[in-house]
Amino acid sequence: MSAGIEVVRAGALTTVQDEGRFGHAHLGVGRAGALDAPSARLANRLAGNPVGAALLETTVTGCAVRPDRAVRAVVGGAPCRVTVDGRPVAWGAAVHVPAGAVLDAGPAAHGVRSYLAFAGGLEPQPVLGSRSADLLSGLGPDPLRDGDVLPLGPPRTGGPPATAAVPWPGVPAELVLPLLLGPRHTWFTADALRTLTTAAYRVSEQSNRIGLRTEGPALDRARQGELPSEGMVLGAVQIPPDGRPVVFLNDHPTTGGYPVVGVVPEPALAGAARVTPGTVVRFVRTAH
């Protein structure tokens, strides 16, 4: 009988994620995958897994699970209180969870998303080459509910030893996003482009895995009318009718009809997964 992990407390939004699914945008299927990829990869390495193994991504409130076999586990990403059967254990390092014990990752003390990796990785049925949940398309495993059981793979032999402490990415006090202008920046006035790259926006509470929404000055258009639907990429900064930028994240739609004023390069997007509502966001024009 294969090993499994029972969900004791699902939390506000906990999903299974890996590196994501690639090469299917022409079918209308986006990437999905862990929003904070550096934290997810580090959690997997400390658990002795390949960096792309499936793990849990929590949102703000954390989650609690019970494995039916002893397992090495790592809780990283957003700092939080971690316990095993009520006893405090290390955050950000490998810990031993006995069979039947409850591993509880509490609410995030800073940031938004924590990651729970388990030796052997989670093994729900893959869809188009990935085990990731895509909230927009509905592909992959559903968000976790209390009582769910997730298959757990066998631990990899010869994995790295447990590490007591490693440096984890911090939560930015201010999110600075490099911006490559285009392809539709000419749809906006010169004053609007100046505002975009000088104003202080803030992270909206309406942000999610689809996109980081902002609050701040609206951008005025130089050109009105509708844009035919066109392909969208990860990091695209779309300007909806309210004029306030939306930065597309992993679960973004593959097409859209609102103009894209610029694109944030992928390496800068991990910070967008970490910041809390109200955090200042600044767009800085870059040429590469």
- Torsion sign (Cα): 145, 121, 132, 210: positive
Q: What HEC string does 255-274 produce?
A: EECCCEEEECCHHHCHHHHH
Give the max Cα distance, the chain: 64
User: Residue 267 contacts by C-beta under 8 Å, 6 or more apart in sequence?
Assistant: none
The predicted structure's pLDDT at residue 27: 87
Binned at pLDDT 50, 70 and 90, residue 7 comes out as very high
Measure the CA–CA gap between 151 and 3, rounded to whole angstroms. 6
In this prediction, residue 146 carries a pLDDT of 98
Give residue limits of the domains in the chain: 3-152, 174-285
Lowest-confidence segment of 8-12, 48-52, 247-251 by average pLDDT? 48-52
Model confidence at 1: pLDDT above 90: no
CB 163 within 8 A of CB 94: yes
pLDDT given for residue 196 in this prediction: 98
CATH code matching the domain that covers 174-285, chosen among 3.20.20.70, 2.40.100.10, 3.40.50.620, 3.40.228.10: 2.40.100.10
Q: What DSSP designation does 54 have?
A: B
Distance (Å, rounded) from C-alpha 250 to C-alpha 246? Answer: 13
pLDDT digits (tens, 9 = 90+) for 71-116: 999 999 999 999 999 999 999 999 999 999 999 999 999 999 999 9
Structure-token pair, residue 271: 């910070």
Query: So what's the pLDDT on residue 159?
Result: 55
pLDDT tens track for 117-171: 999 999 999 999 999 999 999 999 999 999 999 999 998 876 555 555 689 999 9
- 3-class DSSP state for residue 194? helix
- Contacts of 26 by beta carbon, 8 Å cutoff, 6+ apart: none
